Structure 1
Amino acid sequence: MTIERLHPSLAHHIVNTLGWPELRPLQAAAVTPVLNGSDALLLAPTASGKTEAAVFPILSAMASGQWSGVSVLYVCPLKALLNNLLPRLELYATWTGRRAALWHGDVSTARRQSILRDPPDILLTTPESIESMLVSTKVDHRHLFAGLRAAVVDEVHAFAGDDRGWHLLAVLERLTHLIGRPIQRIGLSATIGNPAELLSWLQGSSKGTCSAVVVAPDSQPPTPSRVENASVLSAPAEPDVQLDYVGSMANAARVIASLHTGEKRLVFADSKRLVEELGAALRARGVTTFLSHASLSADERRRSELAFAEARDCVIVATSTLELGIDVGDLDHVIQINAPSSVASFLQRLGRTGRRPGSTRNCLFLTLDQGSLLAAAGLLLLWRRGFVEPVHPPPDPRHIIAQQMLALCLQEHRVGSHLWPEWWNGLFGDAAKPIVDYLVAEGFLEQDGGMLFIGALAEKRFGRRNFMDLTVVFTASPEFTVLSGREEIGRTDPGLLTEKIDGPRLILLGGRTWRVTWIDWKRRRCFVDPFDGSGGKARWFTPGMGGTSFELARGMRDVLLGADPPVRLTQRAIATLATTRVDSRDNVHPGGTVIIHDGSDLRWWTWAGYRTNATLKATLGRLADEAQRVDDLNIRLRTDLTPAAFAAALQELDGRLCLPSVDDRAVAGLKFSTALPLHLAERTLAARLVDLSGAADVLGEPYGFVQL
């Protein structure tokens, strides 16, 4: 038995304390590679035992190798997930006489000082907190991390998809250089389309060394052509997925209130505004409802999640904050408002259900409009075809290089002007030198006697609060803290506090309506009282360069051309899909793309997604309407454009493609862009917006002009 390879005390408790006669298949398959010190990627849906699959062999290696001090970092993207995991890891650690502890932004100073005096064996933390430990003058990082052996990265796909992933890799490379030996890297992830590529990325400077991808038996296999060197242990059970059209939030609340009474329902909505509106509508119908999203206070979210975990007949409405592995108890049903942004996200949410013996994974889609119904149908069609999106780290992280160089100088105080590349072990390649040269030339860094150190401009731009802003690589939208008396409710968009209104200013937060009584503009605080009634508004500004992917846009096109997702469709969904197909019949054609001339409007219906259309719009130049914002599904062309002129222009392009243009607001939204030359900041953003392969595919397809 594989369990016999684990430390005897650990194996005893697994059998007798947890009551497991044997390990789950994923956990059993992970024992050998993790015990052998291999880098590994463990793939499984939420709550499938990934944590144990990593931690059990790590604890066994810790015991047999007599590791000491902080020997394992357990890294998560969310503080709430770390809080949730701590009791389990504390328990498992005690079974081998070891300790686990928590370090993130909400942990008290006293608790941190205790950790520094007597370090635990496993430290649960975030990349930002690791960075703060490295740059803090109050932490002896060389002593604290001297015994580091392994890093477990939970929800690694969530890191890899944005700049926090590059930040994490850079910090791990600095730790590797600091301690003078490789760090074993173990990633935990939901199902993705390119696991081997993701593991190679996670390995960083250890790329090419011994590694393993292990896929859980209850994880849907990605499309075979997208997976290399991954062994799937068995096929998943058939889930129950239903697609419905309800037409409004009020109708969604009515359906949810009437279905599954007496059971626990987790409802996902992909905006904080929708979460608030649905929460208020459900409470108005007498449904016991809890809310969770990032702009609620930590205490408010924690109370909601705990109350939901302990209740039975209730609903919790959440954004993607509960898509990750936070434990909210045993769920009966998952409901999705509109559609998530990806198949991978849907699989995470679907995996929240079906954990009890005899129960089935399930998800009910409630769509509010025709566009959302089409998007949900397209996504479910992709899912049934076995497609799962690959995770690609954002290219050209030049602003992260700038941040890392400044952070390294804070960490070491002085760094050799020719030795600094060694700290990242080749992670950034040749891209780093011109950025470092710019930092020196502009005064972000000073140079003296062959050494680099923090300059006056870096002090001015990033020195507030002891350079704490330098430890965080994402930009948060400005929000006002909302307080009822001394209790923090959460945060709201300042636009709600400045817009012109008649009568009392009412905001919606935590699923309740509040009356604004006073605004402290200087400290960015808003004081409220409970309001007995409805009418509160919820709004948050959400920056980003997202949009529909090429694959999802094409899935939606296939639905319009007659493909039904092989899931249960309600009569309302069937009827509305039929209407949508009729309404869009001129915009799609099975033989290629369509250009529609309708009065004063000329549109090319590419069905190619946001990034592809941004690339095509830039490539077409003056042929496209310069005033049009990039759309997911079509490109508006110049109205005087004739078919002959369009054909001649495409022939003149001869396959050449252009990077999308980037405006000043986008550059300003790129964290640390002030530490880059403007042209490099623009190139970084353009590289993240471009889709050359999608644009080439569209340009290679037949097209037709239609005059309406």
Structure 2
Amino acid sequence: MSQALERLHSAVVHHLVNTLGWRSLRPLQQQAVAPVLDGHDALLLAPTAGGKTEAACFPVLTAMEQQRWTGLSVLYVCPLKALLNNLLPRLRDYAAWLGRRVELWHGDVPATARRHILRDPPDILLTTPESVEAMLVSANVEHQRLFGNLRAIVVDEVHAFAGDDRGWHLLAVLERLTVLAQRPIQRIGLSATVGNPEQLLHWLQGSGRGHRPATVVAPGVHAPSATPQGDIELDYVGSVDNAATVISALHRGEKRLVFCDSRQLVEQLGAALRMRGVTTFLSHASLSVDERRRAEAAFAEARDCVIVSTSTLELGIDVGDLDRVIQLDSPTTVASFLQRLGRTGRRAGSTRNCLFLALSQESLLWAAALLELWGRGYVEPVKAPLEPRHIVAQQVLALCLQEHAVGGRLWTEAWNGLAPFDRSAEPIVRHLVEQGYLDRDGELLFIGPEAERRFGHRNFMDMTAVFTAPPQFTVLAGRQEIGLIDPTLLTERSEGPRVLLLGGRSWKVTWVDWKRRRCFVEETKLKGKARWHTPGATGRSAALARAARDVLLGATPPVKLTQRAVQTLTTLREKRIPTVASEGLVITREGSTEADVRWWTWAGRKANATLAASLPEVVDGRFDDVSVRLRPDLTPQLWRTATTDAAQKLCLPEIDDRALAGLKFSVALPPQLAVDTLASRMADLDTAATVLNEPVRFTILG
């Protein structure tokens, strides 16, 4: 402790003791001081509310003073604008101890504030990768002046980036910033518990991997424990109305945060709780910014209340001192559950807790499987998506916007040789030129007419984000924006008034402005509908599917189970016992003429997609998270013939052209490369090979 404090700037230590009233640093904060001050790239791991922000900021502020950093020297990047808004006051206070400035830049920040930042850059800028990209491609930003003094980048909730295409985008943008700064930039990632911290840090290092010192700081995270700690209970309620009844009756006088894994479910539960007189607030991505902020602020100040949210409140946004976390159904990863569990137990003497309320027998099984994995101490490894060829196309176009013209042989230098933004991307660049996305003048490349047509709207703002957002209509009550809805709610046949459910309230549609995508409403007591289009999910993992199989075979997670949960789980085991076997896998046949023949792999959606594509002789094409549908005329002999050596001949899943719409910038790729990119991400070759080597028995049902 004394060694860590001795290395921090005296003003920081003074304010730790006298302003914050801290008697000591937390273990993570102590252990992070040396590697961060020594310039190491670092990954700081701790549960939610584990002090990660301070662990990064106190030594960074110290380095800023000791090494006399000037201008914009630190970027603090977050995946959510709301998280940035939440962090701003705290980081401003810390920086002010040393006379330093912190500012905020994202899509909701007024243009006047952004112009002030460009005129007089702060020492630390809170932002998103998309906003950094917008600055890089803007003709109104002097890139060298703004970013030339960068020394360090803090990436909060780095695991949330690394698991999808935003992570590849972030890495590419960081490499371009390194080129502008003309020096290596220290990279500091903050994360909750992950299954592969060293690999995650190496990923974050980008082109510095193997060339720069790297340190994982994770005190106590991997300490051995017989059972993870927490007061966890699993209950079966059977419906949203029943869940609302349980929530309204339990834990009265306490502040409760309920997680739902869809916006529709948030709306339905919110409305049901309000009908029961519960003070309820809602938060999800399709509510307006003002609506979410009002709800989160009111919730932070209230006591006897409930806030119902999607994963938007899973990350470190502060909603005050929580008493309880409740989960409807189950998240699909242990890592997500740990984030949610970490929202509680922050008061001295309190315990981290979570109550699971299963709405169906299937969801009870998945919740039990998740808790079984958690009980084993399992956490999913974070893996970057394979083959980000569409991000390569986006980055080449973005670089041409940034530089106006790029040397046809020098463009790879913008990413310091980081794959896949290196010479391996030359086929993509040739395609961009051939299709008119890029124009060539001698050795120079610059933006072509097809890129202008596809992405040029609003000064190429569509180029700055690598995720797609389905079209939605803005809902307005007078001048007040309530949020966004799926347009199918306005086009489907409706008997009587068209009524929407948004913000936990019902709204009667009075007029629709189709051209401007606006829907005008007034509040009503009629029952409304909520719906949003969700891009195709990747399904449950092999680990979770196998844990569900273990539960059916008798494994019981180390948590409290209500009597209803025990009874329902017993019924489910009796019903599903023909689909599992301890010594291998099962193929079941039900019916005679048009038999339902299923191979119960318990292997996860991706592995089953791979198996379905690799065994066309015996598979009828349909599959889910736990099984693959087989031909009704299947015989054991036909099965043996089809599966012999199949593990050495696995194929990637077939891709529907409509699925490519969810792969932004895929239109800028050669069609086959776009299909191959998506197919590689939908496959699990290793698990599929394992499944093919497992023994199988045939069973006839009923």
TM over 0.5: yes
Q: Report the CA distance between 1:233 and its aligned residue.
A: 10
Q: Distance in 2 between matches of 1:235 and 1:642?
A: 46
Is 1:160 aligned to residue 151 of structure 2?
A: no
Q: Which runs of 5+ in 1 are unaligned?
A: 222-231
Q: Report the CA distance between 1:45 and its aligned residue.
A: 1.3
- Map residues 156-555 of structure 1 onto 2, 5 A cutoff: 156-208=158-210, 209-217=212-220, 219=221, 221=222, 238-427=229-418, 428=420, 429-533=422-526, 535-555=527-547
Match of 1:76 among 75, 78, 97: 78
Q: Report the CA distance between 1:707 and its aligned residue.
A: 1.5
Q: Distance in 1 between matches of 2:694 and 2:224?
A: 39
Contact map agreement 1:215 1:233 (CA 8 A) in 2 = no
Contact map agreement 1:3 1:22 (CA 8 A) in 2 = no
In the alignment, what sits opposite 2:126? Answer: 124
Q: Distance in 1 between matches of 2:104 and 2:427?
A: 38
Match of 1:665 among 658, 675, 678: 658
Match of 1:94 among 93, 96, 101: 96
Q: Distance in 2 between matches of 1:297 and 1:245?
A: 33
- Provide runs of 4+ in structure 1 moved above 6 Å: 233-237
Secondary structure of 1:625's aligned partner: strand
Q: Which amino acid aligns with 1:138?
A: N
Is 1:614 aligned to residue 609 of structure 2?
A: yes
In the alignment, what sits opposite 1:699? Answer: 692
Contact map agreement 2:228 2:377 (CA 8 A) in 1 = no
User: Between the two proteins, what is the percent identity of the paired residues?
Assistant: 67
Deviation digits for residues 92-113 of structure 1 (CA, Å, limit 9, x no counterpart) = 0000110100000000000001
Q: TM-score, length-normalised on structure 1? A: 0.97
Secondary structure of 2:598's aligned partner: strand
Secondary structure of 2:256's aligned partner: strand
- Map residues 55-74 of structure 1 onto 2, 5 A cutoff: 55-74=57-76
Q: Report the CA distance between 1:655 and its aligned residue.
A: 2.6
Q: Report the CA distance between 1:216 and its aligned residue.
A: 4.1
Secondary structure of 1:591's aligned partner: coil
Q: Which amino acid aligns with 2:353?
A: N
Q: Report the CA distance between 1:138 and its aligned residue.
A: 0.8
Is 1:573 aligned to residue 552 of structure 2?
A: no
Distance of aligned partners of 1:246 and 1:42 in 2 relative to their CA distance in 1, 3 Å threshold: same
In the alignment, what sits opposite 1:227? Answer: none
Q: Report the CA distance between 1:622 and its aligned residue.
A: 3.3
Match of 1:596 among 588, 594, 601: 588
Match of 2:12 among 10, 13, 19: 10
Q: Which runs of 5+ in 2 are unaligned?
A: none
Q: Distance in 2 between matches of 1:611 and 1:449?
A: 45
Distance of aligned partners of 1:63 and 1:235 in 2 relative to their CA distance in 1, 3 Å threshold: farther
Contact map agreement 1:46 1:348 (CA 8 A) in 2 = yes
Contact map agreement 2:240 2:268 (CA 8 A) in 1 = yes
Q: Report the CA distance between 1:430 and its aligned residue.
A: 3.8
Contact map agreement 1:216 1:233 (CA 8 A) in 2 = no
Q: Which amino acid aligns with 1:594?
A: V
Q: Report the CA distance between 1:504 and its aligned residue.
A: 0.6
In the alignment, what sits opposite 2:667? Answer: 674
Q: Distance in 2 between matches of 1:610 and 1:561?
A: 21
Give the number of aligned pairs: 693
Secondary structure of 1:529's aligned partner: strand
Secondary structure of 1:707's aligned partner: strand
Q: Report the CA distance between 1:641 and its aligned residue.
A: 1.3
Q: Which amino acid aligns with 1:257?
A: S
Q: Distance in 2 between matches of 1:685 and 1:237?
A: 36
Q: Report the CA distance between 1:653 and its aligned residue.
A: 2.6
Distance of aligned partners of 1:583 and 1:572 in 2 relative to their CA distance in 1, 3 Å threshold: same
Q: Report the CA distance between 1:614 and its aligned residue.
A: 0.4
Q: Distance in 1 between matches of 2:227 and 2:172?
A: 36
Distance of aligned partners of 1:237 and 1:702 in 2 relative to their CA distance in 1, 3 Å threshold: closer
Q: Distance in 2 between matches of 1:621 and 1:401?
A: 33
Contact map agreement 2:586 2:698 (CA 8 A) in 1 = yes
Q: TM-score, length-normalised on structure 2? A: 0.98
Distance of aligned partners of 1:608 and 1:236 in 2 relative to their CA distance in 1, 3 Å threshold: closer
In the alignment, what sits opposite 1:228? Answer: none
In the alignment, what sits opposite 1:638? Answer: 631
Q: Report the CA distance between 1:449 and its aligned residue.
A: 2.4
Contact map agreement 1:354 1:362 (CA 8 A) in 2 = yes
Deviation digits for residues 414-472 of structure 1 (CA, Å, limit 9, x no counterpart) = 11110000101121244311101111111111111211100111111111100000011
Q: Which amino acid aligns with 1:241?
A: I
Contact map agreement 2:228 2:375 (CA 8 A) in 1 = no
Q: Which amino acid aligns with 1:157?
A: H
Q: Report the CA distance between 1:532 and its aligned residue.
A: 2.0
Q: Which amino acid aligns with 1:489?
A: I
Q: Distance in 1 between matches of 2:278 and 2:562?
A: 24
Secondary structure of 2:315's aligned partner: coil
Q: Report the CA distance between 1:235 and its aligned residue.
A: 9.8
Contact map agreement 1:187 1:202 (CA 8 A) in 2 = yes
Q: Report the CA distance between 1:564 and its aligned residue.
A: 0.5
Q: Report the CA distance between 1:46 and its aligned residue.
A: 1.3
Secondary structure of 2:115's aligned partner: helix
Q: Distance in 1 between matches of 2:34 and 2:174?
A: 24
Is 1:650 aligned to residue 650 of structure 2?
A: no
Contact map agreement 2:507 2:522 (CA 8 A) in 1 = yes
Q: Which amino acid aligns with 1:543?
A: P
Deviation digits for residues 171-212 of structure 1 (CA, Å, limit 9, x no counterpart) = 000011122111100000110100000000000011022111
Q: Distance in 2 between matches of 1:419 and 1:112?
A: 32
> RMSD in angstroms over aligned alpha carbons?
1.2
Contact map agreement 2:476 2:482 (CA 8 A) in 1 = yes
